[in-house]
Amino acid sequence: MGYRGKLVEQERARELRARGWALQDIADELGVSKASVSVWVRDVSFVPAPRRRAARVRGPSASTVAKQAQIDAMVEAGQERIGRLSDRDLLIAGTALYAGEGSKTDGAVKFANTNPAMIVLFLRWLRTFFDVDEARLRVRLYLHEGLDLAEAEVYWSTLTDIPVAQFGKPYRAKADPSIRHTKHPRGCPSVVYACSRTHRAVMGLVKALLSSGPDLPG
């Protein structure tokens, strides 16, 4: 729909801009991004009005409240539809997850993700359907310099139930000065299980899953 899909917000934004409102205040009022407001009002003449601090502490706009209510409702509906995973559900879900995010290179099962829930789901699947030697599981962290490595290792060790002693040397990336706050303060873990037989079994499931649907055009 693009910018044309929010005609009411556009008109309101133009009205507020003509009254001297700042771009950020308009964005906060309408529950949209500042970038969208900038595009909508770029040809509107205005005289800046004095900004009042009190205006910035007002509650969320009606559109923001409605958006969050819809998100909450969809999450609840999704939980009801998925329910509790059976063993078959978990087998298929884990296979699909690995098909999208796992390493396809022969020799080792590797899965990296910053989302803790995905790491947990992957390990639950791996430990449920394969004969895993826990002592051979490894984790390697990708973590920006300046972030707390010890805290990150404890966090991921607790989450994965893999001892810190089995963590490899981390990759410490240089922080990007153009980014104020990192989105991943605990870094990105890569879980590795070096076993060719297990990896081939995993890829067998992946190929079976991807070939189970309608034939692809040649």
167 in the same domain as 95: yes
147 in the same domain as 39: no
* Tally of domains within the chain: 2
1 confidence band (pLDDT: 50, 70, 90): very low
75 in the same domain as 105: no
58 in the same domain as 10: yes
Q: Is residue 217 situated within a structural domain? A: no
Q: Which amino acid makes up residue 167?
A: F
Please calculate the CA angle 160-208-211 and round it to the nearest 5 degrees: 130
Question: Which residue in 60, 45, 97, 87 sits closest to 205, CA to CA?
Answer: 97
Q: Is residue 216 situated within a structural domain? A: no
**Percent of the chain scoring above 70 in pLDDT:** 87
Q: Is residue 100 situated within a structural domain? A: yes
Single residue among 79, 102, 122 that ends a domain in this structure: 79
| Local structure of 42: helix, strand or coil | coil
**Region of poorest pLDDT, from 104-108, 117-121, 131-135, 176-180:** 176-180
pLDDT value of residue 109: 98
203 in the same domain as 98: yes
**Percent of the chain scoring above 90 in pLDDT:** 56
Q: Is residue 74 situated within a structural domain? A: yes
Give yes or no for residue 164 having a pLDDT over 90.
yes
CB-side neighbour CA atoms (13 Å) of 161:
7
Query: Per-residue pLDDT averaged across 172-179, rounded?
Result: 69
Quote the tokens at residue 139. 């984790």
Q: Is residue 175 situated within a structural domain? A: yes
110 in the same domain as 180: yes
Q: Which residues of 56-69 are buried (b: 16+ CB within 10 A; e: fewer)?
A: eeeeebebeeeeee
CA distance 109 to 88: 21
| Cβ pair 102, 202 in contact under 8 A | yes
102 in the same domain as 191: yes
Quote the tokens at residue 209. 């899953």
Give yes or no for residue 202 having a pLDDT over 70.
yes
Query: Per-residue pLDDT averaged across 154-177, rounded?
Result: 90
Q: Is residue 58 situated within a structural domain? A: yes
124 in the same domain as 72: no
Give yes or no for residue 41 having a pLDDT over 70.
yes
Question: Which residue in 166, 110, 103 sits closest to 136, CA to CA?
Answer: 166
Single residue among 79, 105, 137 that ends a domain in this structure: 79
**Region of poorest pLDDT, from 20-29, 70-79, 112-121:** 20-29
Single residue among 79, 111, 129 that ends a domain in this structure: 79
Domain containing residue 102: CATH number: 3.30.1330
192 in the same domain as 104: yes
28 in the same domain as 119: no
Query: Per-residue pLDDT averaged across 116-124, rounded?
Result: 97
- For residue 17, count CB atoms less than 10 angstroms from its CB and return exposed for 0-12, middle for 13-18, buried for 19 or more: buried
**Average pLDDT score over the chain:** 87
Residue-number span of the structural domain to which 101 is assigned? 87-210
206 in the same domain as 160: yes
The span from the first CA to the last CA of the chain, in angstroms, equals 33
Q: How many CB atoms lie within 10 A of CB 196?
A: 11
CA distance 167 to 138: 6
DSSP state of 102: B
Between the ranges 42-46, 73-77, 145-149, 178-182, where is the mean pLDDT highest?
73-77
177 in the same domain as 106: yes
